[in-house]
Each structure stands twice: as structure tokens, then as C-alpha cells.
Amino acid sequence: MITMKRLLTACLSLALFAACSGGKEEVAPATVAAAPTETAQEFVARVNDELQELRREVGAANWVRSTYITGDTAIIAAAASERYAKWHSETVQQAMAYDGQELDASTRRALDLLKLGTSAPSPNDAAKRKELAEITTNLEGTYGAGAYCRTENECIAGSELEQLMRDTRDYDELLEYWTGWRDVAVPMREPYTRFVELANEGANELGYPNLGDMWKSNYDMSPAEFEAESGKLWSQVKPLYDELHCHVRARLGEVYGDDKVPQDGPIPAHLLGNMWAQQWSSLYDLVAPYPGVGDIDVDATLKTKNYSPQEMTRSAENFYVSLGMPRLPDTFWERSQFTKPRDRDVVCHASAWGLDGGNDLRIKMCIQQTYDELRVIYHELGHNYYQGAYKDRPPLFQDSAHGGFHEAIGDTVTLSMTPGYLAEVGLVKEGEDDPRAVINRQMLMALDKIAFLPFGKLVDEWRWGIFSGAITPENYNQAWWDLRTRYQGIAPAVERTEAHFDPGSKYHVPGNVSYTRYFLAHVLMFQLHRSLCEIAGHEGELQACSIYNNRSAGEKLYAMLQAGASQPWQDTLEAMTGTREMDATAIIDYFAPLMGYLKEQNEGRSCGW
């Protein structure tokens, strides 16, 4: 569920988020920039031209690497990575010559975004640059080709294991799949440690204390201010998560027994229906408030009507078109990966690609006929429409207001996939709404969206500690589980030691994709939805609103997408919502019916861990 730019590993990750030139703690750069031979405006114009060409090459190399995982494509992707890293390192050094000059806001912003144009800056040394490119390419390849092998001839790929985790309820079988997948990450530990050293060295040369502070400088505020902002948002939603955790734990205790699921401690990590316990929707049948009431069986429709992956994607496209947005180009349908090929390894993790400056839009998925997959498609097309909307901006401004916005667009659209909308487009039968059905739907959504929030926050919090040195290599795994227990209230059911590298079992760690954007997206999606529903003139409960076919809401949304990264995210948010602050209260508003139900259910229980 990431964009092409986030997928490009290490120095290829052209994650050009909004940045504030005074928003980082400065340290002395390793080299002194030479006096410039061109004005800052001329320099930025040249950089945009060069970046446009580099992206074309880098995007093609990484697309091939993700859709044909072989030794040859690893070489091609690593070479492209190294070329971009060399260009970026040298160009940033040149950009530092303008640090003391008074510049117009657009030029200064472009220079700041250039510095932040990589998720893993390489040191300005040819050998180290090559080493970093090879490490990042191989880490992602190890993940993509990973499988749990019961025997030499019986191996289960990651995507299949994820499905088994959703479908299986046997305690021991789940634990087998859970531990088996984490064995894939063990070989990543040593190269990841070296990756941290090299990327931190690169960040130092750009004037940042460490890579974590560089990442946090992507948000138009200082790293300390951003950490405080993240903490504020989490505090706004934590009460709802705590109630959900308490209720789910109680039901799991009924299934597996209090000896396996203690009612005063964390939940065993392998029992939540997801490989990483980040989304719990597979447990819905165990916790459905009113079983059978108002069930929406989109899966049955998809299978009965035998929707192809392309037809499922057309359904998502039609929603965006109903808002007044253009249809996807023909090349999208010709060049996207919709299904898993039978003849080769590919990265099935869903992603959206805006190649050639957004003129060549694609998705990469291994689509199954399920409602979950349909919603992922709606999400990924949100990225594609964002990429297409800002494609006429200069390359340095071809990104979202900040990373959370890019992830939030498609998620905001999925909130409009109400029963009324699904009936209107023929995916379910029309039916009368029932207050009990509302609680059921909210429970299902909370198992997905609310359960995700603490995981979305902690992944980067772990990496911030890694990059700053607060978490040492001797403590990688322990620190990971300390955070998971603290935030999520989960723990491994078997001993995990420093011989393991459990963070590497999550794609975004070996792929070096910042994860905070997903946490912020889960906040923004509800905040944006609330504003769009007001624009659309919706009256009634927020959870019942769909902006489908509303051109007024679509026009406002598309204007936000077109702004790209050309201005601070606070300006973009204000133009859309009227406020300059991210606000999680829309989540509480949306889930008000469920919160009341959970409090009733948890009365008398011992919540917390």
C-alpha cells in the first residue's frame, strides 16, 4: 500500500515531503560546498531537469526488479540506485552553497526538498555508495523471495502465509506460520546493522544528526515538534484502542482459554489473524456484536459474478471518475501487474507507481477476489490519482503535502464505500439499515483501522531509536517487542532473542520505507472525510456519508491533490478543511456508536496489560 517513490529503496526513495529549512538540528556537514556558479533559481531548474531524467531510469529499473526478482534484475536495480545516489550526494553538496542566501520561498523549499529526496542518503564515497545500494537491493530481494519451508520441497510464500494466518484458528498451527515467516528475516540482521551505519553517515553529511531526525524533518516542523505531534494524535485515539483491545482479548480468552490468553496481560501476537497483528479484521466472526445482522458479503458477489482483477480495478476507477477526475490512461491497463505470475518471483505487496513524472501510472498487486483486496485497489488508485494530479508540478514538488496525505487519499475514499454505495454499484443488494448493523460495520472497520494505529506509530519509533543510537544492535529485537507490548498490548508466545530480527519480517523495514505516514494517514482519512462530507452537504451520522458522484467534494479534493508538495502541508490542509492542525477527533466522532457498545461490553472486565 505504498507509492512507487516510497518503494524505491534507500537512496532511490524519492520521498520528497514538505520540509522546513529551519526544522532540523544542524550539525557540521562533512564537506564544505564550493562557491556556486549559477543562481539558486538556475540551480533548481537544472536539478528538476536532471531529476526528471533520473526518475525515468530509476523507476524502470525498480519496476523490473519488483516484477522479475532475479540476480540480473538485482544488478540492474543496484546500478540505478548507485547512479541516483551519486547524483543526489553530489547535487546536495552543491545545494549547500545556497544555505546562507536569502531566497524566495519556492526556491528555498525546493532546495530543502532536494536534501530530503532520499530515505537513505549515501555517504559521499564511491565504495560506500555502492555498498549501500547493494545492501538495500538485497534486503528487499530477501524479503520478496522469502518463504517458510517446512521441508526442502514444501515451501510457503509470504502472501500464502498471510492468507493462512487469516483463515486458520488452530493455536499451534498459527504459531508455526508466525515463527516460520520470521526465520526469513534472520539473515537481514547483519546487513541491516551496516545499513544503519552507512545511512547515518550519509545523513550526517547532509547536516542531520542521524537518519531518524532527517525523516522527522519531512513535516514542516522540528523533529521534537513532530514527535510531540505524533504523541498528541495517539493520545486522542488511545481510549478507543484500549476498549477494543480489552474486548478482543476477552473473546480470544473464550476461544483459547485464559491459560493461553491471560486476561490481565498482552495478547499472544500470533492470534490476531494477521502476520504482524497490525489489523484484526479476520477475527470479526469472533467479536461480531450482532451476528448475521446487516452482513455485507461483497466477496460472494465478486466470486459469483467472477470479477476479474481488471474489473475490480475498473470499479475503483469509476468512483474517482464520479468525482470529476479523469479516467486512467490506457498504459495503466497495459503495464500494471494485476495478478501474480506463475513463472517468477515478484513483490506482491501492493504499490502504486507514478513513472515518468506521473505520465505512466501503474499498480503492482496480486489481486484476489475479496472485499479486502477491492478496498486495497481503491486505496492504491488514490496514490495514482494523486500522482496524476501533481504531474505538472516541477519534479521536486511532485509529491504529497506530506507522506501521510499520499496514504490518506485512497483510505478517505474507502470510507465512502457505504452499504448504500455498494448497493448502487451492484456489489450488494439494497437493504434497510439497522442500528445493530451500524455497530457491526463499525466493529469490522475498527478491527482494521483502530487496531492499526499503535503499530503504525511504533515501527518508526523503533527506527528512530535505531538511527539515534538509543537502541543498539545488541538490543534490536528486545526493543522491538518492548514497543509492541507498550503500544499494542501484544507479546510473542515463544521466546524471541537477539538471534532473531523480527522487525525484518515487516516489508517496510528491509524496504526502508518510513511507516509514520500510515499512522498519519489513518488520522487524516477521517479528518478529510469529515470535511468532504460537510462540502457534500451530508446530514446525519458521519459513518453513513458517501461522497460518490458529488462533484463539489471531488473538485475540492482534486485541488488539494494538484498542490502536491509545493507548499507546507499546513497550508494544504487549511485549504481543504479550514484548520492547520491534524486532528484525530474525527475518529472519535466516526466511531461514537461503537465506543458506546465497547464500554458496555467491557464493564466489569479488567482492561489494560
Q: Residue 380 catalytic? A: yes
Residue 106 in contact with residue 566, Cβ under 8 Å? yes
Residue 256 in contact with residue 173, Cβ under 8 Å? no
Query: What crossing angle do the helices spanning 403-414 and 371-389 adopt, rounded to 10°?
Result: 130
- Of 230, 221, 229, 571, the closest CA to residue 401 belongs to 571
* Catalytic choice (247, 270, 383, 529): 383
* Catalytic choice (350, 521, 536, 553): 350
* Catalytic choice (270, 379, 402, 538): 379
Q: Residue 407 catalytic? A: yes
Distance, CA of 28 to CA of 206 (rounded, Å): 9
Residue 188 in contact with residue 277, Cβ under 8 Å? no
Q: Residue 350 catalytic? A: yes
Q: Residue 245 catalytic? A: no
User: Burial code of 325-363, b = ≥16 C-beta within 10 A, e = fewer?
Assistant: beebeeebeebbbbeeeeeebbbbbbbbbbbebbebbbb
Q: Residue 522 catalytic? A: no
101, 276, 455, 456, 495 from 488: Cα distances, Å: 46, 11, 7, 10, 18
- Please give the single-letter amino acid code of residue 411: D
Tell me phi and psi for residue 467, to 5 degrees.
-70, -35
Residue 195 in contact with residue 136, Cβ under 8 Å? yes
Query: What crossing angle do the helices spanning 126-144 and 189-205 adopt, rounded to 10°?
Result: 140
* Catalytic choice (82, 243, 407, 461): 407
Looking at residue 337, the DSSP 8-state letter turns out to be: B
* Catalytic choice (88, 245, 500, 508): 508
* Catalytic choice (390, 518, 558, 597): 518
Distance of CA 259 to the CA centre of its chain: 35
Which H/E stretch holds residue 485? helix 476-488
Q: Residue 379 catalytic? A: yes
Q: Residue 102 catalytic? A: no
Q: Give the contacts of 53 (CB within 8 A, at least 6 positions apart).
A: none
Q: Residue 461 catalytic? A: no
Query: What crossing angle do the helices spanning 403-414 and 551-563 adopt, rounded to 10°?
Result: 160
The residues pairing with 155 across neighbouring beta strands, listed in sequence order, are 149
Would you state the cell numbers that stand for residue 534, as one nine-digit string?
A: 460537510
* Catalytic choice (284, 380, 515, 536): 380
Residues assigned a catalytic role? 349-350, 379-380, 383, 407, 508, 518
